[in-house]
Structure 1
Amino acid sequence: HTITLPMIMAFIRKYGNNIGLITFDAHFDLRDRYPYGQKYSHATVMRRIGEIIGFKNMFVNGVRAYEREEKIFAVKNNINFIASDENRRNIFSSLNSFILNKKYIYLSIDVDVCNISTGNPEMFGLKCEDVLLILKRIRNRIINKLTIIDIVEYNPLLDHNYSSGITVNKIIMETAGLFV
């Protein structure tokens, strides 16, 4: 997920800081240092982004695997999040409220939210169909605000029958359709 950090930095340089980051991810990625004191890694990237855009401007969907300290940090710093087990109940109203006051939206999808061909799989996540349904349901709210989309963590070397690649392609096509 580390590619999201330089994308956010470049965006802010050009357009300013009125951005909301919506992520679909099985993890918070909010550790301060990981591993062994490393400030920038896949496990720290959202903390670094939050330091730039403000933690209240982040919304994490589908989180389910995290260190206790990460959840405490998320709550303390007013990060908006919906765990994967509560997603269907609260997601639409929470996302609509989040989007309302943002000028721009950055959408980042980590495929581990669906547990497909990734280096950090986590069981019992959202189905890819859930992610697509959520995006379709909020489309009208974000259509004029959606500025950047990234899809991260797919590893074709772990995709033995290529079915995950087909699924990732479907997610790409559907999210690209949000722009038209």
Structure 2
Amino acid sequence: MHADRFSMEAWTGRTDPEPDSPRWHQRIQPLQADSPAGVALFGFACDEGVRRNHGRVGAAGGPPLLRKALANLPWHRQGPAYDAGDVFCADGDLEAAQARLARGVCTLLDAGHLPLVLGGGHEVAFGSWSGLAEHLSGEAAPKIGIINFDAHFDLRDPAHVHSSGTPFAQIAEQCAARGWPFRYACLGVSRASNTRALFARAAELQVLVREDREIRESSLETIGAELDAFIAGCDALYLTLDIDVLPACEAPGVSAPAARGVPLALLEPLLERIKGSGKLRLIDFAEFNPQHDIDNRTARVVARLIHLLTL
């Protein structure tokens, strides 16, 4: 693997006396070169992109605390799950860290695993996508669908500096350079957190956009049908979840708390729909910032989402 560091220390928890009561810490295994295909957790302990984007840092400390929150959850999976270690960015060289992440993601995909990347700031997205792109590079113009649940487009101009605000603009540039289609859906966008220029850029790139205020119980079926149509035009799906898409009351421990957000109860049915498509090849989580969490509330929410997506 291409991890900078590996440890199983976080995988401890309760052991129940009843039969058939395993928890994640009792089933997760260290990844080996010959491990049968399963879910592979891969950490990206980096918030250099957040720092460059003038956000509040702390997301680099996310991966071990997400493992700790997941460790004690009950195990309902049928297939195996592995820990593939962490990539770090201690020297400020974001681009090198993203390249190592990409190599690791590609290696996992080549081995048949479903990579689940634990960020880290949303600069994780460029590294994650790059790994999937490398894995699919032998195909002619693969149609990779990116589904991002996020309060922000992250389509800032990357010409000046690469950051947590530029990954999808960087991906759009890469797609154009390769002659690949750029298919991007961003759900949960806050109009109060994105400039007119960013909305214009999203329109120019034909991004499927749903604002936070549009996602309601009454609109879930309509949005689900839009997602189905989007997915139908894709060969493979990359799902990325910026935890700041959730309301600050549900997820206070993020780099940029949402004043409104999309509640977990509305987010989960859409995630289940994406998972049910059978095209999901890569998942990552971004912007969990443990320095600002309250009673591990945000870590628990992310652990629940991992649990949901890996059932």
TM-score (norm 1): 0.88
- Asked whether the equivalents of residues 57 and 79 of structure 1 are also in contact (C-alpha less than 8 Å), the reply is yes
- Asked whether the equivalents of residues 56 and 80 of structure 1 are also in contact (C-alpha less than 8 Å), the reply is no
Matched position secondary structure for 1:108: strand
Match of 1:105 among 219, 237, 245: 237
Deviations 1:119-156 (A, max 9, x none): 1112111012211121123433x22x100000111011
* CA distance, structure 2, for counterparts of residue 128 and residue 49 of structure 1: 28
Which ranges of structure 1 fall in alignment gaps of 5 or more residues? none
Question: Which residue is equivalent to 1:77?
Answer: 205
Residue 33 of structure 1, CA deviation: 4.3
Matched position secondary structure for 2:200: helix
* 2:185 maps to 1:59: yes
Question: Which residue is equivalent to 2:23?
Answer: none
Residue 160 of structure 1, CA deviation: 2.5
* 2:262 maps to 1:136: no
Greater Rg, structure 1 or structure 2? 2
Which ranges of structure 2 fall in alignment gaps of 5 or more residues? 1-121
Over 6 Å off, 4+ runs: none
Residue 169 of structure 1, CA deviation: 0.6
* CA distance, structure 1, for counterparts of residue 303 and residue 135 of structure 2: 29
Q: Is the alpha carbon distance of 1:13 and 1:56 closer, same or farther for their aligned partners in structure 2, counting shifts above 3 Å? A: closer
Match of 2:165 among 43, 66, 71: 43
Identity of aligned residues (%): 27
For 1:105, the aligned partner's letter is L
* 2:216 maps to 1:93: no
- Asked whether the equivalents of residues 107 and 150 of structure 1 are also in contact (C-alpha less than 8 Å), the reply is yes
Matched position secondary structure for 1:137: helix
- Asked whether the equivalents of residues 19 and 53 of structure 1 are also in contact (C-alpha less than 8 Å), the reply is no
How many residues in Structure 1 have an aligned counterpart in Structure 2? Answer: 172
Instruction: State the superposition RMSD in angstroms.
Output: 1.7
TM-score (norm 2): 0.52
Question: Which residue is equivalent to 2:77?
Answer: none
* 2:294 maps to 1:160: yes
Q: Is the alpha carbon distance of 1:56 and 1:9 closer, same or farther for their aligned partners in structure 2, counting shifts above 3 Å? A: closer
Question: Which residue is equivalent to 1:3?
Answer: 124
* CA distance, structure 2, for counterparts of residue 118 and residue 137 of structure 1: 25
* CA distance, structure 2, for counterparts of residue 128 and residue 167 of structure 1: 8
* CA distance, structure 2, for counterparts of residue 13 and residue 138 of structure 1: 23
* CA distance, structure 1, for counterparts of residue 304 and residue 275 of structure 2: 16
- Asked whether the equivalents of residues 151 and 172 of structure 1 are also in contact (C-alpha less than 8 Å), the reply is no
* CA distance, structure 1, for counterparts of residue 272 and residue 134 of structure 2: 30
* CA distance, structure 1, for counterparts of residue 197 and residue 268 of structure 2: 30
